[in-house]
Amino acid sequence: MSAKVLVVDDASFMRLNLKNILESEGFEIIGEGTNGQEAIKLYQAERPDVVTMDITMPEMDGLAAMEKIIEMDPQAKIIMVSAMGQETYIKKAILKGAKNFIVKPFKKEKIVETLNKVLAS
């Protein structure tokens, strides 16, 4: 059974990019969120195996959304997607329970590998 992924990013380019990569590797994209609020709703509804969560987003940022999701489901596997220079956010996310992180711009191999590692844990 292929793993179910929720992709959260405010940039449609980024979502498409992730979707292409992940689908070509046999992952199933069960939803795309464009901000933190949407991410929470989609998580509740779909219960994905893993979430890729952008940090900087309008309305509710990835950090807050991640916290809310972990509150609902302490087992949630969330990978933060960050730009260079967001060390502080990543640190916070890790402390709050994010399983891993990816730095934009990322290579295809890197993201697949990270997802697999997190799913295996």
Partner 1 sequence: MEKIDFEKFKKLFLQEADEQLEVMEKAVMELEENGENRKVIDEFFRMAHSLKGSAGSMGYSAIADLTHQMENVLDKLRNNPGSLNDDITDLLFISIDTLKHLRENVEKDIPEEENPDIQHILERFQDFISIETDGKKKANVEKKIQLTSQELKNLKEKAGENNVLLLCFELIQQQEMQSMMAFLVLNNLKDEGEIVKTFPHHLEEVEGDLPYFSILICTEKKEEDLVKLVEQTLDREEFKVFSLEDIEQGKASDYFQEIKENFSRRDESRDSIRVDIEKVDQLMKLVGELVIDKERLLEISKNIKANSRENSEAQALLQTIPHVDFIATELHESVMDIRMYPVGSIFKRFPRLVRDISKQTGKDIHLEFSGEDTELDRTILQEVFDPLVHLLRNAIDHGIEAPSQREKSGKPSRGTVALNAWQEENNIVIEVKDDGAGIDPEKIKTRALEKGLVTEAQLEEMDQESILELIMEPGFSTSETVNDLSGRGVGMDVVRTNIEKLDGEVEISSEKGNGTSIKIVLPLTLAIVQALMVREKGNDYAIPLSAIFETIAVNGQNYKEVIKTVKNREVVVWRDQVIPLIRLSEFFLLGDSHQEGFLIIGGVKGRMMAIMVEAVIGEQEIVIKSLGDFLGKDKLFGEIPGISGATIKGNGEVALILDIQGILKSFKKGGEAIER
If binding is defined by CB under 8 A, does position 52 make contact with partner 1? Answer: no
Q: Regarding beta strands 28-33 and 78-82, do their DSSP bridges make them parallel or antiparallel, or are they unpaired?
A: unpaired
CB of 28 to partner 1, least distance (A): 22
CB 115 within 8 A of CB 27: yes
Residue 21's nearest CA partner among 38, 9, 36 is 9
**Which residue, 8 or 118, has its beta carbon nearer to partner 1?**
118
Question: Which residues lie across from 52 on neighbouring strands?
Answer: 7, 79
Footprint of partner 1 on 61-100 (CB under 8 A): 82, 84, 87, 90-91, 94-95, 99-100
Where do contacts with partner 1 occur on this chain (CB under 8 A)? Answer: 82, 84, 87, 90-91, 94-95, 99-101, 103, 110, 113, 117-118, 120-121
